[in-house]
Amino acid sequence: MTLEEIQNIVFEYLYMFIPIVFILSYFLYRITRFILGRLSYRIALRTENVYDDLIVDNLQPFRVAWLVPLLIIYFFSDFALGRDSIVSDIALFFVIVVLVDFSIALLNGINDIYKHRPRYTGVSVSAYIDIIKVLIVLGAMVFTVWIFTDVPPLVLLGSVGAWLAVLLLIFRDTILSFLASIQISTQELIKDGDWIEVPSYDANGIVIDVNLNSIKIQNFDNTLSVIPTYKVVDVAYKNWRAMQDSGGRRMSPSIVIDISSIKFCDIALLKTFSKYDLIADFINEKIQDIQEFQLENAVAVDFPLDGPQITNIELFMKYIEHYLNNHTDIHQRRLPYLLRVLEPSSKGVSIQIFAFTKTVVWTEFEGIQTEILIHLLAAVPYFDLKIYQE
């Protein structure tokens, strides 16, 4: 019996073969689904690495099992009804859909594996993965048009001008995002895990995903900001990664002193301040210098501006210096601290402190800064100074 005779018999008794094919397809689907599901999940559970777990979670083997019934229906309809039948076209279309879904899931799994590498530095490849996904979908669209219109793919791809115009119109944002993603990736402007601020989008938090079309930021109030990728390179933003990598975060609090409380210190006042252990040695040296000068120039010293003098605000700044120098949470050498007095204003004179904490964790940093500021505010009255307040 020839193949043509078998084909004629199948076509003649088509009403009998169709239910058989569908029943066979269903049972093969169930068997394939069971085998793929059980086998893949068992392998994933028995291995210690997480890579196969990520692949299995993304692929969802149960969905791949749909290829078996679809291919059976396609080949049966092609054999019994001919290649031009609508049934074979529909079956082939769904085969393409399943393959596209499988390819995209596989790419997602590869992306997850890349992010879970021990040497992952935060530079995401999601943008490139998304480009491959777009090409897969475009290829599937071309083949779909070919299936239902019989127009060869090369002819469709030959109309480059028309296709290019349509692509530029439809995928304008995607193309701009792709170019921006290349810039972000090559220059390492933004990585997963970076703390960034984008004021124009009211975003301030941790980057949780950088892909082709958008950058997702988990704000500190637990809201989610989604910014188009190409927009980020067009607006001003602040990336705190360099601060985090440096191991020190700068604090710059200011203490505003009432100008009327600033004065020269006499010997009696200096002896009072010499009780403060942190600056006792420094004050004793100053007392000795003043006394020696007065002994040598007894006649000339008859006014506070005569000879070496020191003010209470200078002593307070010296106290701040020694206090920071003895603080275990402040960098001393690699990131040194600095004190400066700002220009007096109607609100007094400000002592500004620049110092770097040894931690970059936000809560710990705020705790250290608060502790230092409150301590210094409480120490101000002990130097006969007053905090300015309206």
- Chunked in runs of 10, what are the mean pLDDT values of the chain (390 residues)? 51 56 70 68 59 59 72 66 65 80 78 70 68 80 75 63 65 74 74 86 88 85 87 84 81 91 87 87 86 72 68 92 90 84 88 90 90 93 89
Distance CA 75, CA 73 (A): 6
Looking at the chain, the number of H-run helices and the number of E-run strands are 16, 9
In a domain, 162, yes or no: yes
In a domain, 205, yes or no: yes
Length of the chain in residues, anyone?
Answer: 390
Q: Which of 194, 219, 245 is the last residue of a domain?
A: 245
Distance CA 353, CA 256 (A): 11
Q: How many CB atoms lie within 10 A of CB 291?
A: 11
The parent domain of residue 150 ranges over 3-172
Query: 241 with 254, same domain?
Result: no
Q: pTM score, two decimals?
A: 0.53
Cβ-proximal residues to 184 (8 Å cutoff; 6+ apart), any chain: 127, 190, 210, 229, 232, 233
Which of left, alpha, beta for 222 (phi over 0: left; psi -120 to 50: alpha)? left
Question: DSSP letters of 127-170?
Answer: HHHHHHHHHHHHHHHHHHHHHHH---HHHHHH-HHHHHHHHHHH
In a domain, 388, yes or no: no
In a domain, 178, yes or no: no
Q: Tens digits of per-residue pLDDT, 22-78?
A: 677 767 777 777 676 666 666 655 665 555 555 666 566 667 777 777 777 776 666
Q: What is the distance between the terminal CA atoms of the chain, rounded to a whole angstrom? A: 108
Q: Tens digits of per-residue pLDDT, 314-368?
A: 999 999 999 998 888 898 877 888 899 988 888 889 999 999 998 888 888 899 9
Check: CB of residue 154 under 8 Å from CB of residue 221. no
Q: Which of 131, 151, 172 is the last residue of a domain?
A: 172
Query: 239 with 265, same domain?
Result: no
The domain total for the chain is 3
Q: Which of 177, 67, 78 is nearest to 126 (CA)?
A: 177
In a domain, 29, yes or no: yes
The amino acid at residue 157 is L
| DSSP single-letter state for residue 278 | G
In a domain, 177, yes or no: no
In a domain, 335, yes or no: yes
Q: Which residue has the tokens 């206090």?
A: 323
